[in-house]
Amino acid sequence: MKMIQLFTAILLLASCNAQNNAVQLKTNNNGNTLLWQISGKQLPAPSYLFGTFHLICKSDIPFGAQLKTAVKTAREMYMELDMDDPATVMGGLLLMNMKGDTTLKSLYTKEEYEKVSAFFNDTLHTPVSMLGSMKPFFLMAMLYPKMLPCKTMSGVEEELVKLAKENKKEIKGLETMAFQASVFDSIPYKQQAMELLKTIDSLESYKKYFANMVEVYKNQQMDKMEDLMTKSEFGMEDNQDLLLDNRNKNWVQQLNTIMKKESVFIAVGAGHLMGDMGLISLLRKEGYTVLPIEN
């Protein structure tokens, strides 16, 4: 009997110590933050959700002390893709091209193609003929470095991978590169080509849009970011179900299982966090408590 009582006392002491050592992060009162804590629904420990930006000036990356604590506290990091797997990068290169024998030239009139070709030659110093089979939405990503007012730039995901490695955290993916490529294959190539042409034709307006997006991201103004993502001239409202909503629902179903096992740090594009079909709202509908954390 004494051994049982001693064993019970040890368990109780260990439990108390675990509770005392639990990380208490300071909440943000107005909800304008990229960092969120997920708890409740009998989770063994809180998990964390963070919104990323694919390319930004390195000095503008918003990694506060509490974010670093959240990464350190979590057992694993989940990103859209398994970003520390070399096969992900190699697979991405293979999946950037359009299916079949579709080429960029076949999607434009002669005049349109000449305009796009001249832009790539003169502004990006890259012959578009070398990229003629690439999906137009991937070609649009080549414009982003020209939009940033700095020489040292980085992806927020890239810096998170470094942080995860520093803390010896395993990185896993919510999707495969093949799935992401299939999402872009679901959007007609002709439509993608017209978006690329529209961006080139409206480059100065697009630069202002991109600058506004970077500004609201680094200031973590979630409400303004949502408007820019969905309601502006260059937003993704037409394809929101494919690019955001359907993927969000799929991720929440995965997270329902993942978070029951352990605390995880989830890092996905900031656009996935906001709105009625955003991850914050969907997780709350599932019964979780999702709180904004100061960052």
Any domain includes 113:
yes
- What pLDDT is attached to residue 91? 73
Any domain includes 20:
no
Low-confidence ranges of the chain (pLDDT < 50): 1-21
Residue 171: strand, helix, or coil: strand
- What pLDDT is attached to residue 10? 31
Q: How many domains does the chain have?
A: 1
Cβ distance 162 to 68 under 8 Å? no
- What pLDDT is attached to residue 24? 84
CA-nearest of 253, 236, 245 to 277 is 245
- What pLDDT is attached to residue 1? 40
Report the C-alpha gap between 152 and 37 in whole angstroms: 31
- What pLDDT is attached to residue 228? 86
Any domain includes 9:
no
What is the reported pTM?
0.87
What domain range is 252 assigned to? 25-293
- What pLDDT is attached to residue 230? 74
Any domain includes 193:
yes
- Assigned token pair, 19: 């509770």
Cβ distance 167 to 69 under 8 Å? no
Beta strands in 34-80 (DSSP E): 35-39, 47-52, 56-57, 76-79
- What pLDDT is attached to residue 170? 96
Any domain includes 13:
no
Q: Identity (one letter) of the amino acid at 146?
A: K
CA-nearest of 243, 90, 250, 63 to 161 is 63
Any domain includes 3:
no
- What pLDDT is attached to residue 20? 35
Cβ distance 103 to 133 under 8 Å? yes
CA-nearest of 10, 37, 11 to 23 is 37
Residue 86: strand, helix, or coil: helix
